[in-house]
Amino acid sequence: MKLTILGAGRMGGTILRMLVRGGGGVWQAEVCEPEAKGREALAKETGAGVKFVAKVEELGEPEVVLLAVKPAMLQEVAGWLKGRKDSYLLISILAGVTAEKLAAEAGAKARVVRAMPNQALRQNEGVTAICAGPGAKKEDLEIARKIFEAGGYVLEIEEEQMDVVTA
């Protein structure tokens, strides 16, 4: 399955490393990280199997998008998200951005799942809360669960509980 990661900072990079180590299934990964230093360090660490780009315009069509940018950068990637030709799963780890807001920004082709991992994910001892958003199917939640179980436990909750989890 093709995974596109938007933002490979602390948490996006952690998730990429988990997947490269073999957790969460088999992925063909593309990563968009605008900072050259971060891109180069992750490319060195993860090997040749991951494609790194600096701009979203350089990415192909995704099946799954992991949105790991800072919440303030959502507007910068919204146009690219809306421009996708096919339906795709959007898994967002953006704190404080509701599934409804994500769906509005990403457009009708996005099936939204929110996820909130904690920092212990780095040591494979994380706890991640996930919830279904607009358009999400049971299979979409299973994909998100598989990704985050590579770094610990996953709890499925209602979105109304997400703010409590992020506190």
For residue 167, the model assigns a pLDDT of 66
Judge contact between 19 and 82, C-beta under 8 A: no
Residue 26: partners with Cβ closer than 8 Å, 6 or more residues away: 1
Lowest mean pLDDT among 3-7, 8-12, 162-166: 162-166
Question: Which SS3 state, helix, strand or coil, does residue 32 take?
Answer: strand
Radius of gyration of the chain (CA): 14
Q: What are phi and psi of 24, to 5 degrees?
A: 80, 15
Confidence of residue 29 (pLDDT cuts 50, 70, 90): very high
Burial of 70 (0-12, 13-18, 19+ CB in 10 A): exposed
With beta carbons less than 8 A apart as the criterion, state whether 95 and 117 touch: no
Helix (H) or strand (E) segment spanning residue 53:
strand 50-53
**pLDDT single digits (tens) 114-166:** 999 999 998 989 999 999 999 999 999 999 999 999 999 999 999 999 988 87
- Mean pLDDT, the chain, rounded, equals 93
126: β partners: 152
Q: Is the pLDDT of residue 26 over 90?
A: no
Given a cut of 90, is residue 46 above it in pLDDT? no
Residues ≥6 apart with Cβ < 8 Å to 81: 65, 90, 105, 106, 107, 110
Domains of the chain from N-terminus onward: 2-166 (3.40.50.720)
Output the six-digit token pair for 133.
Answer: 């958003």
Distance between CA atoms of 46 and 44, rounded to whole angstroms?
6
List pLDDT tens digits, range 75-117: 999 999 999 999 999 999 999 999 999 999 999 999 999 999 9
Is pTM beyond 0.85 here? yes
